[in-house]
Amino acid sequence: MTAITVFSAQKIVTLDPDQPQATHVAVKDGRILALGDASCADQWGAVRHDDSLSDCILAPGFVEGHAHMMAGAMWQYVYAGYHDRADPNGKLWSGLSTLDAVVARLKDQEAQLPEGQPLVAWGLDPIFLPGERLSKVHLDQVSTTRAIMVMFSNFHLLCANSVALDMVGYGAHTNAEGVVKGTDGEPTGELQEMAAMFPLMRRLGADFRALSMTDDAVKSYAQVCNRAGVTTATDLYSTMEERDLARLLALTGADDFPLRLVPALGANAAPETISARALTLRAHSTDKLRMGAVKIMTDGSIQGWTARVRWPGYVGGQPNGIWNTAPDQIRALCLEMQRAGLPMHIHVNGDEASEVTIEALAQAKAAHPRPGLRHVLQHAQMMDAAQFARARELDLCVNLFANHIWYFGDQHAALTIGETRAARMDACRAALDAGVGLSIHSDAPVTPLGPLFTAWCAETRKTMSGRTLGAAQRITRGQALHAITMGPAHSLGLDAEIGSITPGKRADFALLDACPLTTPDLRDITVKGTVLGGTIFRT
């Protein structure tokens, strides 16, 4: 007979309206058996009492609906971002506020590398740096013999030195979208979006697959999630080759792996090829590895001016972005995945991209009705009330990039889309008012993975300067917590299993040092670990 364990806690915040709070939770076979006081499971037979969590507040394990498994592996490269950030081991790396500081850190790291090894850095935020934009001229100061690549924080742009550009044959003769040129007709070193970036990334061994699909990368990602109280997380653009599948099945199947992983297959081939592969992957799903979803990239990054936006465009008059997937191909992919019954996660930053995608989904749903099949518009940063209403008509979910308000809100108001549109970016209130299923996310490693911080962003809409950007779009504390638990659980089709502390669901908890309902500032809460299926993982 399987043992019943009754865990005690300071308080259990269930996010289940039928029983909002408790002091004890009973676990059997990795699931929640009962809630209440110390006697909550006595009617089920003999129990074992465990007080090892009595120092904690228990909340549902957080669900990160948009992040990338490279969030841990990126730290093998040099951090060159503007904000202070902690690595998976908890070490704090100071941010860099000038180009001179960026070049100095790169020089320090270059001096330590073996001959012939490329220098790769990440996290650069040029929108924050005064003066001229990073170019190959700056990177050539670091080395004229070693290939150098600096990935921007949005992962939609990078900058390379002359050696690296020569490696992939980019020069004055290059006539390719995304290879930025100066007034002299030569590449500046800046490469925008995937078609321009991938050749160099692959050549330097720093492509997204290499950053995600190693044992160390997967384990590091799980470590990052554990520190943030996350028990279920996506890898929202996965190549999932056969060797990747074998690796993930082995790693997630281990008893000491503290995470439920939901990878989405990147749509980087013909629609029928992608659907066939996704269906094959879905058949291999386990309790801790859920497959079968598809990720579609449409446009780029707003702060990189590569997102596709509607009239009146960007305030600086920049060209209207780059399609990573052309509209005709978006329509073809949506049609095929809907036909095959596969959930889609579709990257849409600008409102032109969301407009094209919503209409593509409308056509696909009309051609192949499948009630209950959930598709998610990811980021959806510039969707307005009319687009949310249309999304509700089509039963679409949205996963809004709430962190952007703090990290980039001031810059969006001043430099990209202007004050009025920035005030309704990541419009959580409008989404809820329209009745759309809402979740919020970090897009780690673009911003640090930390659902409590993400919830704070949606609740307060504070920017780095301390002002409130778009007060009308704030949501309540309870709604913000729902958007990092039940909201993403619903969008992933896992709401019957996770997202609240409810009898019958999996025993996945976040261990906190303070109550998320009553603590004045969610950012002040410390995560002490997680519980996954009844197994404790302390940080």
Digit-coded pLDDT (tens) for 284-299: 999 999 999 999 999 9
Q: Which residues contact 411 (CB under 8 A, 6 or more apart)?
A: 127, 128, 303
Report long-range pairs for 31-38 (Cβ below 8 Å, ≥24 apart): 31/504, 31/505, 31/506, 31/507, 31/533, 31/534, 32/501, 32/502, 32/503, 32/504, 32/505, 32/506, 32/507, 33/4, 33/503, 34/503, 35/501, 35/503, 38/6, 38/8
Is the pLDDT at 53 greater than 90? The verdict is: yes
- CB neighbours (10 Å) of residue 202? 14
pLDDT at 204: 92
pLDDT at 1: 55
Question: 210 falls in which pLDDT band (50, 70, 90)?
Answer: confident
pLDDT at 208: 75
Task: Look up tokens 């911003």; give the residue.
Answer: 447
**538 to each of 59, 491, 509, how far by Cα in Å?**
15, 28, 11
The mean of the pLDDT values for the chain is 96
Of the listed ranges 5-9, 86-90, 378-382, 503-507, the least confidently predicted one is 86-90
Question: For the chain, what is the radius of gyration of the CA atoms?
Answer: 23
pLDDT at 415: 96
> Interior CA angle at 475 toward 473 and 480, to 5°?
130
- The 3-state DSSP class for residue 451 equals helix
* Mean pLDDT confidence for 192-196: 94
* Mean pLDDT confidence for 518-528: 98
Is the pLDDT at 213 greater than 90? The verdict is: no
Question: 513 falls in which pLDDT band (50, 70, 90)?
Answer: very high
pLDDT at 72: 86
pLDDT at 251: 97
* Mean pLDDT confidence for 362-372: 97
Q: Give the span between the Cα atoms of 537 and 223, in whole angstroms.
A: 10
pLDDT at 90: 83
- The 3-state DSSP class for residue 93 equals strand
Contact (CB, 8 A) for 287 and 255: no
What are 305-355's pLDDT values in tens digits? 999 999 999 999 999 999 999 999 999 999 999 999 999 999 999 999 999
Is the pLDDT at 412 greater than 80? The verdict is: yes
Whether the link from the prior residue into 187 is cis, omega within 30° of 0, is: no
pLDDT at 436: 98
Is the pLDDT at 2 greater than 80? The verdict is: no
pLDDT at 151: 96
Strand partners, 512: 57, 527
Percent of the chain past pLDDT 70, that is, above it, reads: 100
Q: How many residues does the chain have?
A: 539
What are 97-134's pLDDT values in tens digits? 999 999 999 999 999 999 999 999 999 999 999 888 99
